[in-house]
């Protein structure tokens, strides 16, 4: 029962970690760089932590001193930080900016014309992307909360060390 589930869950988590490692290594090798393991940050969400027994859905581990990565939107980038180990937050932090609108709702808004491809393109100004299309409207910056609106809450559980702005963004339409 439960032990078997946890065993397979652990295997899936290990597989996902190795997959991310391989992807990062291939991207860096394209630029003639080598992946240094000590520079990796494992900041995963939607999992059961063996470390503390916490089920994190929509959250990442943010124990004291733990390095974290919090993605925002296609145009906003990612937040790098150090966990504060806030027990009021279950030693966790949000795994992303959080959606304002669900995937189906964004596609419906595009179909109805309450949002447009022009507004999607405008929201991506300053970020090169070949992925701005009706198929990726559900991932547009308009679908997510802005960093300015959530930073106060995030800072209760994470010390912000950097806000990385994207130069290029690639999204799969699937």
The span from the CA of 99 to the CA of 33, in Å, is 34
pLDDT of residue 46: 84
Taking CA atoms, 55 is separated from 18, 66, 90, 155, in Å, by 21, 17, 10, 21
Q: Residue 100, exposed/middle/buried by CB under 10 A (0-12, 13-18, 19+)?
A: middle
- Reading the chain (174 residues) residue by residue, the pLDDT tens digits are 788 998 998 899 999 999 999 999 999 999 999 988 888 888 888 888 888 989 999 999 999 999 999 999 999 999 999 999 999 999 999 999 999 999 999 999 999 999 999 999 999 999 999 999 999 999 999 999 999 999 999 999 999 999 999 999 988 877
DSSP string across the chain: -HHHHHHHHHHHHHHHHHHHHHHHHHHHHHTT----GGG------SEE-TTT--EESSEEE--TT-EEEEE--TTT-EEEEEE---GGGTTEEESSS-BSS-HHHHHHHHHHTSS-HHHHHHHTTTSB-S--SGGGGGGSGGGB--HHHHHHHHTTTEEEEEEEPPSB------
The span from the CA of 151 to the CA of 156, in Å, is 9
Query: At a CB cut-off of 8 Å and minimum separation 6, what does 100 contact?
Result: 142, 143, 144, 145
Domain ranges of the chain: 1-40, 48-164
């Amino acid at each position: 029962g439960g032990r078997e589930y946890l065993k397979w869950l652990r295997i899936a988590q290990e597989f996902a970690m190795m997959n991310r490692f391989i992807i990062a290594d291939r991207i860096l090798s394209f630029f003639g760089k080598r992946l240094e393991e000590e520079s990796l940050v494992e900041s995963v969400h939607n999992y059961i932590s063996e470390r503390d027994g916490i089920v994190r859905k929509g959250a990442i581990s943010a124990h004291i001193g733990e390095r974290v990565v919090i993605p925002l939107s296609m145009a906003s980038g990612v937040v790098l930080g150090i966990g504060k180990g806030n027990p009021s937050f279950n030693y966790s932090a949000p795994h992303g900016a959080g959606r304002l609108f669900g995937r189906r709702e964004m596609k419906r808004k595009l179909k109805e014309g309450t949002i447009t491809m022009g507004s999607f393109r405008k929201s991506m100004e300053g970020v090169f992307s070949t992925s701005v299309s009706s198929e990726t409207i559900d991932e547009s910056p308009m679908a997510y909360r802005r960093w300015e609106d959530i930073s106060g809450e995030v800072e209760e559980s994470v010390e912000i060390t950097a806000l990385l702005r994207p130069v290029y963004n690639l999204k799969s339409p699937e």
